[in-house]
A and B are shown apart, each in its own frame.
Chain A
């Protein structure tokens, strides 16, 4: 297994703020790593080190065995970068944007043109090819930006929050595109604030906060770290809650959590038969159940267990905060 992306002990400070604080990472070739963390955790700073845009104060990083500081130029020939803000020229048409990038990758006039068309077709943008980007929707722009990152057929693709700030429909369309890239076997570093996004695409996930990786592993491994399955039941009469708690205590591995609407959630040690067993016991005690499920912990649970707080929902103002992270 060859590592396509390696980071060891990266440190980056901006005045008083430490954006990266001993950041370690390893991404195997042909795999997708989801770098998951809240705003200001250091995701964008890490991406910028990998993309040779900033130099770390300490530590070192490699892309495909090339040092991002000493061999920056070769690294730039290896990577494709698509940023949180669509870095495309809104006064140019979609085709002109891609051709410009092709020319700058020295594909030649003709090579750049045919590559641009290939990508426009692949991303379903041929009809918009001759429209200026300022007439594109947010999702179309993001897709064109992704296409721009692919112009030179990079070995390593870095997508920095590809869906932040998009509406749900555009997010779905962008996910489809990312899904195609993933199935094509690219090495992909994907930063995201969305647990769902990381869970959907990543072979491995690294959870980052305060500039360092808190935990890493496959989505399943991370979920196992948090603990086993959760049995969730919804009672028809919330008044039965306290009785239901004591009934379920016999199958529980932890303290049951309940809410006012009659939902009860409890961590269970073994998954086998526990759902049926739990419902039987409740039924025997005369407690009516309207809904019951056994679910694996979500990445929300993972994040809560690792950081002690829940993931904030990204908003426009918070993504601006991350943008300013670099200035300070």
Chain B
């Protein structure tokens, strides 16, 4: 028990270090503020004006998709941050200290969660400006945001494994982009997958991104008969499916990341 307390305490000390770093790199910090705002405005005005659905608001449908895609992209920061710490020998030093392996990984994912809270906050504000509204209750709205953050947190652990396995920080962004880019688009993020060609539609319907986006729409009260979710189980029960995905990702990647961390050395 006391070792768990130490692990969390050390994790918070390390999370603080990561946050100080982010604040001192103005370009990185600004991009984590500006990118979400830009995505919100661009998608709202460009896609929002191109895709017409009579009598209903496409922007309301769209915003949950922008939220999910942004937090999915943000998870790359976790992997790149760890890879950079390995490259600079900082992980070597941390590993020579009498601290739990969980501390470093917990500290990393916690500071990236804080970054996601910030991204989500500015997107909510930008969204409200372009006419997006939470049409459900306050409680459900908050639950929707928490679900997005929980999904982002789980993905951080997945990218932590990537970051601990590659040779250079740049590889993390390049390699994960090849997966994350299609993963965030072959989904119901921006359009209903109903019209996708066969195999893409199957991928989109079972994509965790789709489940989370659909769950957020339901919780925000942004669902719309013009954009039916699809008939598959995860999209009919998106909240349960999203929680299932989050638990599954954590169950696989927390132990895997810890294992990789124990072997990580500067290369």
**Interface bin, chain B:** 20 to 34
Contact B98 A77 (CB under 8 A): yes
- CB-contact partner of A326 in B6, B21, B95, B265, under 8 A: B265
Given contacts A92-B17, A327-B267, contact A52 B89 (CB under 8 A): no
Q: Does B259 contact A (CB under 8 A)?
A: no
* Complex-state Cα separation, A96 to B23, whole angstroms: 14
In the A-B complex, the 7 residue pairs with the smallest Cβ-Cβ separation, listed nearest first, are: A87-B89, A87-B93, A76-B98, A81-B96, A85-B89, A77-B98, A103-B13
B window 86-101: CB within 8 A of A: 88-90, 92-99
Tell me whether A104 is interfacial, beta carbon within 8 Å.
Answer: yes
Q: Are A327 and B167 in contact (CB under 8 A)?
A: yes
Residues of B within 8 A of A (CB): 6, 10, 13-14, 17, 20-21, 24-25, 88-90, 92-99, 103, 167, 265-267
* Chain A contact patch, size range: 20 to 34
Contact of A53 among B10, B90, B265 (CB under 8 A): B265
Residues of B within 8 A of A85 (CB): 88-89, 266
Determine if A13 is an interface residue (Cβ-Cβ < 8 Å). Answer: no
Distance to closest chain B CB from A98 (angstroms): 12
A-B interface pairs (CB < 8 A), number: 78
For the complex, is A153 an interface residue (Cβ under 8 Å from B)? Answer: no
Of chain A, the residue at the smallest CB distance from B87 is A85
Give A323 to B95 CA distance when docked, in angstroms. Answer: 17
State A104–B267 Cα separation when bound (angstroms).
24
Question: Nearest residue in B to A106 (C-beta to C-beta)?
Answer: B6
Contacts A53-B265, A323-B267, A327-B167 given; does A104 touch B97 at CB 8 Å: yes
Q: Does A11 contact B (CB under 8 A)?
A: no
| Seed contacts A77-B98, A87-B89; 9 additional CB < 8 Å A-B pairs | A51-B95, A53-B96, A74-B98, A83-B266, A87-B93, A88-B90, A104-B14, A132-B24, A326-B265
Whether the pair A76, B97 counts as a contact (CB closer than 8 A) is: yes
The answer to whether A105 has its CB under 8 Å from any CB of chain B is yes
Which residues of chain B have C-beta atoms less than 8 A from A89's C-beta? 17, 21, 88, 90
Chain A residues with CB under 8 A of B93: 81, 83, 87-88, 101, 148
| Interchain CB contact (< 8 A) of A48 among B6, B20, B265 | B265
B96 touches A104 (CB 8 A): no
- Asked if A87 contacts B92 (CB within 8 A), the reply is yes
